[in-house]
């Protein structure tokens, strides 16, 4: 059952081939078999089996939906009532929320079965899933390589068939980049499409929750379950949620206008096998009837430096609440109040989080705010305008998701700039608030390559349709690594 999609498992449950309880037990056993991947921080077998029994009862009453009885996992950044939510940090190692995040509420109401919480970079800060307090996650295609970050635990769990789908968050590419490096499909929705209520905040103007799964069809099912208006998040948009899966059946790539930014094509530092796979993917779309044309995003090169002013600035503000008094880890036997603050934050946060807090605090400080933060926001507007002009002539924008395939564990740990450049093709999308996804498009030296497709605001349906159309032409999304390694 581990190699089946949500859609296929739904049919198996509907036809009585298995029950949700049986499926959940098999899922938990497979997770134990693949414990060396370190994809999970917390497992919830008792509550999962109880939810599975409830799902089987709902199906018997004729009340099942497409997610009823399907085992899924949540990134450990989503608050889960009565279940530890660590955000991959020592700071929140013992935090057990008294409430569910909106996304958790929605998927629980849709009948999905939560089997556990997945590993992640600490406070979602990282591109390799090596900054977690609970240790690095391994890439199931090559256990000596990273799975990407910060949703690397979710990506590894889906790629190795431990669960058919998982949730993630994407602040600068944290769904799409690990999806590309592990050979799965991952969607970052439009900013405001999915409520951020109950997500531990990193950079509030950039964070967005989204699904990770094996196919575009499964992303459509998951997004339909996750999205919706929520008054508890002032940035959540009150807009009807389409039936994305139903729309796929009417989708055809013929006539689709695909833009190829010359800045993506001519970018330095892109692996040859990545360029080759993306070129082959766009050629496949062209042969299927899409119209591929070159476009320009002239300010795309400024996206990374702009992001690394805005995101740390917001992080320094959001993480100020974790001081050992109001929230989070508290040091032992502090000498005085100042010692309490310093040691609680010094011992509770990891090195990457401290680095970004210091950068952000500097950018927001008196005398530097106008020079750095305000200027970065002005350039962010230029990046947004580039995309707006591009979408006047194309329906979707295509390019690489990551400049390389999965890199060796530890190879960039001492070079933060090189690590930050792992997200060079994804960050601009977050600055503009656009939807984008990554789908498998080939392999380089045995490791997956991701194709990124970017859409206009709230055009997730068209984006998923393009991805589904491509997956009808290829079988890259059907490739699976061996759990045994």
Among residues 19, 86, 150, 404, which one is catalytic?
Answer: 150
The 10s digit of each residue's pLDDT in 439-448 is 999 999 899 9
Q: What pLDDT, on a 0 to 100 scale, did the predictor assign at position 250?
A: 73
**pLDDT score at 2:** 82
Written as six digits, the tokens of 319 are: 């993480």
Is 422 among the residues known to form the active site? no
- As given in the structure block, the two tokens for residue 234 are 């002032």
List the structure tokens of 372.
């750095």
Averaged over 451-480, what is the pLDDT?
Answer: 96
Separation of first and last alpha carbons in the chain? 19
pLDDT-derived band at 485 (thresholds 50, 70, 90) equals low
150 is catalytic: yes
Structure tokens at 271: 């692996």
Of 20, 160, 174, 215, the catalytic one is 174
For residue 453, pLDDT beyond 60: yes
Confidence grade of residue 484 (pLDDT, cut at 50, 70, 90): low
Catalytic entry in 20, 75, 160, 344: 75
Tokens of 396: 């979707």
> If 0-12 CB within 10 Å is exposed, 13-18 middle and 19+ buried, where does residue 4 land?
middle
Query: Has this prediction a pTM greater than 0.85?
Result: yes
* 468 Cβ neighbours under 8 A, 6+ residues apart: 215, 216, 217, 220, 248, 251
Give the separation between CA 115 and CA 48, rounded to whole angstroms: 5
Mean of per-residue pLDDT scores for the chain: 96
Percent of the chain with pLDDT over 90: 94
Q: What is the pLDDT of residue 45?
A: 98
Reply yes or no on whether the pLDDT at 274 is more than 90.
yes
Question: What number is the average pLDDT over the span 227-240?
Answer: 97
pLDDT in tens, 131-173: 999 999 999 999 999 999 999 999 999 999 999 999 999 999 9
Q: Confirm if 79 and 104 have CB atoms less than 8 A apart.
A: yes
Q: Among the listed ranges 98-107, 244-253, 333-342, 433-442, which one has the minimum average pLDDT value?
A: 244-253
Rounded (5°) CA angle 49-54-57? 130
Mean pLDDT of 191-207: 97
Kindly provide the residue ranges of all beta strands, DSSP E only, lying in 315-412, ordered along the sequence: 396-400
Q: What is the pLDDT of residues 294-353, one digit of tens each?
A: 999 999 999 999 999 999 999 999 999 999 999 999 999 999 999 999 999 999 999 999
Q: Would the pLDDT of 251 be above 80?
A: no
Its CATH architecture, for the domain 6-251, is Alpha-Beta Complex (3.90)
Which has the minimum average pLDDT: 12-21, 183-192, 263-272, 285-294? 263-272
Count CB-CB contacts under 10 A for residue 358: 12
For the residues 63-87, what does the mean pLDDT come to? 98
How confident is the model at residue 332, as a pLDDT?
A: 96
The token pair at 22 is 């049986």
Report which of 478, 484, 482 is spatially closest to residue 8, judged by C-alpha positions: 478
* pLDDT score of 394: 98
Does 276 qualify as catalytic in the annotation?
A: no
Q: What percent of the chain has pLDDT over 70?
A: 100
Residue 266 pLDDT class (50, 70, 90 cuts)? confident
CA–CA separation, 213 vs 161, rounded Å?
10
Say if residues 113 and 70 touch (Cβ distance below 8 Å).
Answer: yes
């Amino acid at each position: 059952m581990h190699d089946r999609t949500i859609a296929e498992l739904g049919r198996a449950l509907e036809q009585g081939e298995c029950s949700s309880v049986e499926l959940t037990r098999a899922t938990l056993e497979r997770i134990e078999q693949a414990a060396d991947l370190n994809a999970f921080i917390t497992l919830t077998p008792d509550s999962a089996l109880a939810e599975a029994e409830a799902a089987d009862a709902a199906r018997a009453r004729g009340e099942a939906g497409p997610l009823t009885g399907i085992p899924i996992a949540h990134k450990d950044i989503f608050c889960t009532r009565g279940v530890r939510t660590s955000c991959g940090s020592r700071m929140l190692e013992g935090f057990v929320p008294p409430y569910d995040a909106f996304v958790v509420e929605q998927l629980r109401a849709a009948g999905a079965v939560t089997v556990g919480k997945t590993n992640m970079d600490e406070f979602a800060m990282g591109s390799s899933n090596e900054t977690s307090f609970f240790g690095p996650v391994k890439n199931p295609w090559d256990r000596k390589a990273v799975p990407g970050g910060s949703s690397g635990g979710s990506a590894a769990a889906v790629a190795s068939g431990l669960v058919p789908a998982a949730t993630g968050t994407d602040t600068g590419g944290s769904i799409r980049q690990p999806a590309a490096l592990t050979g799965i499909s991952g969607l970052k929705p439009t900013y405001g499409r999915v409520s951020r209520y109950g997500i531990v905040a990193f950079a509030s103007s950039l964070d967005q929750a989204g699904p990770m799964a094996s196919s575009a069809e499964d992303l459509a099912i998951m997004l339909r379950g996750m999205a919706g208006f929520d008054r508890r998040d002032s940035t959540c948009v009150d807009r009807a949620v389409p039936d994305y899966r139903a729309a796929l059946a009417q989708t055809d790539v013929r006539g689709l206008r695909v833009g190829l930014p010359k800045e993506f094509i001519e970018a330095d530092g892109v692996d040859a096998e990545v360029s080759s796979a993306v070129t082959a993917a766009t050629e496949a779309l062209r042969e299927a009837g899409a119209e591929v044309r070159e476009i320009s995003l002239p300010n795309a090169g400024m996206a990374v430096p702009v992001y690394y002013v805005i995101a740390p600035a917001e992080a320094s503000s959001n993480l100020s609440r974790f001081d050992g008094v109001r929230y989070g880890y508290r040091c032992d036997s502090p000498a005085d109040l100042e010692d309490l603050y310093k040691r609680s934050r010094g011992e509770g946060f990891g090195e990457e989080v401290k680095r970004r807090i210091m950068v952000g605090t500097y950018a927001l400080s008196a005398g530097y705010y106008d020079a750095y933060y305000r200027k970065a926001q002005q350039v962010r507007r230029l990046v947004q305008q580039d995309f707006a002009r591009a979408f006047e002539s194309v329906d979707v924008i295509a390019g690489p998701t990551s400049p390389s395939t999965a890199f060796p564990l530890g190879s960039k740990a001492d070079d933060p700039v090189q690590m930050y450049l792992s997200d060079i093709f994804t960050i601009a999308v977050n600055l503009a608030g656009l939807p984008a996804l990554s789908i498998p498009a080939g392999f380089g030296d045995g490791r997956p390559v991701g194709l990124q497709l970017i859409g206009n605001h709230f055009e997730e349906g068209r984006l998923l349709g393009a991805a589904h159309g491509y997956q009808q032409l290829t079988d890259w999304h059907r490739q699976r690594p061996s759990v045994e390694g």
